[in-house]
Structure 1
Amino acid sequence: MTTTTPYDRCAQDAAAAVISSYSTSFALATRLLGPRVRTHVRSVYALVRVADEIVDGAAALKGVSAQEQRDLLDAFEAETNAAVERRFSTDLVIHAFALAAVECGIGADLTRPFFASMRTDLERSRHDAASHEEYVYGSAEVVGLMCLQVFVNAGRAFPVDPDPGLVEGARRLGAAFQDVNFLRDFADDRGRLGRDYLGLDGGGTGGGETRAAVLDRIDADLDVAAVAISGLPADCRRAVTTAHGLFAELAHRLRGDSGDARVSVPAPVKATIAAKAFAGVPPRRSGA
């Protein structure tokens, strides 16, 4: 669907402001996307970010109760579904997402598990292997699949299904991103929110995963994603390669970290990763 109205542009500008306010790494990678896809990817991220704030951040800080957070999330999901159907919302972020969803074929098969995982944050504080897998699918893998729908379908008259290899790569990249974030935010998630997404067993004796095992899984996911990136449309590869490189660097730094402080990638290193991606250097694999 071609954007033609001032309201559409206003909504998309609002979505772009969300990404620029929250994530320096993701904002950097998104700037490398071609104009065909950049706006819709920002719109996807904005919806994800607002939903996360309902269950993880701003709502609780303002004194919103857990039940009120559930009600807000339910209403946000319902309005998202309705906006995709009618192609309009008075909520600017949802309206921008609906524009992307209609043009690119993002349906309830992707939004439903996403909102289910967001709802889990209000219902469960500790995860085992099975619940972790389900949570990561909804909170991260489907976000990768939403972006893939944009990569493949933005500008098309009718959306098509992405190649299965690209689907697998998008899921694995999303899972790697989420597990990296779980590790780097482990202390805050446990201390501030009372949540343990990984069920880590630091000594290797309690039945949970070790930190090293999670990092090995992240590396394996990043390796699968690295192979898939070459099959993406040309105007998406630099951005996805940059995002892949940033999280691979975070994973590398997490291996040498005690977990007491939040690991980050210094700005000069980020710039180097982005410059290599811009020059067409393929994503690095863990064994390379």
Structure 2
Amino acid sequence: MVPKTHELFSHTAQQVAEAVISNYSTSFGLATRLLGPTHRHHIRNIYALVRIADEIVDGLAAEAGLDAGEQRELLDNFAAATRSALRFGISDNLVIHAFAQTARTTGITFDLIEPFFASMRADLGAASESLAPVRGLLADEHRDYVYGSAEVVGLMCLNVFLNDQVRTPAEVEALEFGARQLGAAFQNINFLRDLADDSVRLHRSYLTTESRLSDSDKTAWVIIIREQLAHAQATFSLLPKDARTAVRSAAALFAALNDRIAVTPVDRLYQERVRIPNAVKARLASQAILATAREGRT
């Protein structure tokens, strides 16, 4: 039997989203494989959309020869196509189509999507000033950027996890706080990991008002990130069981990254990216599986 046009198109879109996460992130790719089948494809669809938008502002458009105005136009067109897909449930862009299917199924709305694209536009603004000295973010600018670029992504994922679930208002409030804290921790760790690329190639400084972090600045951020991870971890048991292992695994990986950054001098962070060996990733995933399994026996 030949599949219906929409079914075949949506299936193809899902395959594209899976290819995006497989090619761009071994860590998140591993974590999504630990999700239950109900959630797995939705999380991949979210990742694919935010990854492609991030690629547009992180060099894809510039390397294709687009000037600052053309880069903004490309991003604006991508954002407009996303809005349209949420309204109509379809897009001729396979990544956007996959995301729209997830958004309409799980209740992801414009109040989460618009802050995300606002943060992406902020990155384009920084890139357009590539000949000027690197300007760091003020505290409120950092807060707004992290909310749009990372915390709302955590909230989108939470929408997926809680779809068709029953939780009390207090539990939902706690889970939303945990999702935002986890997203912020992930983003701040990535800022520390990417100091070299952000400062030299992308001309950005996210973690200080200065152009360069000091060792004491780095230590302060390591402490903040540990607190954010702790807040998030306190809510993991409220997640559906088929989501806990994946979330725990991702959180453990980023905690391990943060620990490595803690003992790495800032000068070295400005030269190379801290990584976790695959064997350690596998061990952390196994520990996450065991932690969730123990909850099932108690």
TM-score under structure 1 length normalisation: 0.90
Q: 1:213 aligns with which of 217, 220, 232?
A: 220
Corresponding residue number in structure 1 for 2:214? 202
User: Are 1:126 and 2:132 matched, yes or no?
Assistant: no
2:3 maps to which residue?
none
What SS class does the counterpart of residue 23 from structure 2 fall into? Answer: helix
Contact between 2:241 and 2:292, CA under 8 Å: does it hold in 1? no
1:276 corresponding residue in structure 2: 287
- Given that 2:244 and 2:292 are in contact with CA atoms closer than 8 Å, whether structure 1 keeps it comes out as no
Inter-partner Cα distance in structure 2 for 1:198 and 1:123: 17
Asked whether 1:177 is paired with 2:197, we answer no
1:126 to partner: Cα distance: 2.7
Consecutive unaligned residues in structure 2, runs of 5 or more: 1-5, 127-134, 294-298
Which residue identity lines up with residue 198 of structure 2 in the other structure? D
Partners of 2:81 and 2:38 in 1: CA distance:
26
Matches within 5 A, 1:230-245: 230-245=237-252
The alpha-carbon deviation at position 281 of structure 1 amounts to 5.6
Q: Considering only aligned residues, what root-mean-square deviation do their CA atoms show, in Å?
A: 2.0
> Is 1:67–2:77 an aligned residue pair?
no
Question: Which of 96, 99, 116 lines up with 2:98 in the alignment?
Answer: 96
Shift of 1:201: 4.3
2:81 aligns with 79
Give me the identity figure in percent. 51
**Alignment counterpart, residue 262 of structure 1, candidates 264, 267, 273:** 273
Report the equivalent of 1:51: 53
Identify the range of structure 1 (51-60 vs 135-144) with the bigger mean alpha-carbon deviation. Answer: 51-60
- 60-69 vs 18-27, greater mean Cα deviation: 60-69
Write out the 4+ residue segments of structure 1 that deviate beyond 6 Å after TM superposition. none
Return the TM-score normalized by structure 2: 0.87
Aligned residue number for residue 26 of structure 2: 24
Distance change (3 Å), C-alpha of 1:157 and 1:178 = closer
Q: In 1, distance between residues paired with 2:139 and 2:189?
A: 16
Pair 1:253 & 2:260 matched: yes
CA contact (8 A) 2:136 2:205 kept: yes
- Aligned-partner residue type, residue 202 of structure 1: S
Q: More helix by proportion, 1 or 2?
A: 2
Distance in 1 (CA, whole Å) between partners of 2:79 and 2:202 is: 23
SS of the equivalent of 1:5 reads: helix
CA–CA distance in 2 between the matches of 1:237 and 1:126?
Answer: 36
Inter-partner Cα distance in structure 1 for 2:213 and 2:93: 43
**Distance change (3 Å), C-alpha of 1:111 and 1:103:** same
Q: Which residue, out of 114, 117, 133, partners 1:115?
A: 117
Counterpart-to-counterpart distance in 2, 1:157 and 1:226:
20
Unaligned runs of 5+ in 1: 205-209, 283-288
Displacement of 1:57 after TM fit?
2.4
Name the count of aligned residue pairs.
272
Q: Residues 155-166 of structure 1: matches in 2 within 5 Å?
A: 156=164, 163-166=172-175
SS in 1 for 2:235: helix
Partner of 2:231: 224
